Chain A
Amino acid sequence: MRIKINSSAIKETRWHQLATRFCIGGLITAATGLIAKRYGPAVGGLFLAFPAIFPSSATLIESHQKQEKEEAGVQAPKRARQAVSIDAAGAAMGGIGLLVFALFVTEFIEKFTPWLVILAATAAWAAVSFLLWFLRKEA
């Protein structure tokens, strides 16, 4: 299956859903800072990989799928569950990319220009995640 732009999902996304994600992301980031301040950076660092928007994204996918399939007369709940499951499997592959991001930053942030290291680590996350997705698709 080829990668495509899904314009319908953008149209279906409501403002309150965007606001929810913004608030969850903001709250977790602020909380991570507070946890690091209170318990130290070693504990705070764990939350850099917290699945912050996962529950809200899964709910969004489920509701979009139900709406889409019900309009097409297909059994909606089962298809919606499958869509969430497939999305979560993709997130698991991205999780391996996240591990590479963390290893990259740990190894290089004190040796090179920090913001460049963070940028390169993000590129490494994307490269590893996309490669794993592609390899799994081909298998």
Chain B
Amino acid sequence: MKEILVRFLVGGLSVSLFAFLGDLFKPKSFAGLFGAAPSIALATLLLTVGKDGPHYAAIEASSMIAGSVAFFVYSSAVSRLMMHRAEKALLAATTLLPLWAAVAFGLWYGLKK
């Protein structure tokens, strides 16, 4: 329970910090870079290294490669959808989350074989 709480606090702080940096800058395209900051990865890997060691962290990071490609595909899809269709931002961003999952798990499974 204590470990979950620590992860929650460290993750919340890390994500908030990068989100704040994103708010801080103009133009929007530059600020958008911070939406892809390694905030969760930073918090998780630092805690993982301390508890489970660098080998465990290396396995997590190798899977993150597939997650990163999925992030690129997902954010590109949101960008195109918002430019060409009159959708609400929240609707577009949440309905495309399964696309992230499909690409991440598909690529991870493909690389694993």
Contacts and interface: CB of A to CB of B under 8 A. Distances in A.
Contacts of B66: 46
A81 B68 contact: no
Contact of A49 (B64, B82, B83): B64
A98 B31 CA distance: 15
A24 to B, nearest CB: 7
Contacts of A10: 20, 23-24
Interface residues of B, number: 87
Interface residues of A, number: 85
B16 A106 contact: no
A46 B75 contact: no
A42 B63 contact: yes
A118 B40 CA distance: 12
B16 A41 contact: no
A79 to B, nearest CB: 11
A76 interface: no
Given A52-B15, A98-B38, A81 B87 contact: yes
A109 interface: yes
B94 A86 contact: no
A114 B49 contact: yes
Given A3-B26, A48-B40, A94 B33 contact: yes
Nearest to B100: A51
A62 B108 CA distance: 33
A24 B15 CA distance: 8
Given A51-B74, A95-B36, A101-B38, A33 B44 contact: yes
B18 to A, nearest CB: 8
29 contacts: A5-B24, A29-B10, A29-B15, A29-B40, A29-B44, A30-B7, A33-B3, A36-B60, A40-B59, A42-B60, A46-B105, A48-B38, A48-B44, A48-B67, A49-B64, A50-B100, A51-B36, A54-B78, A58-B82, A58-B93, A59-B89, A85-B82, A92-B75, A94-B35, A95-B36, A97-B36, A99-B65, A102-B67, A114-B54
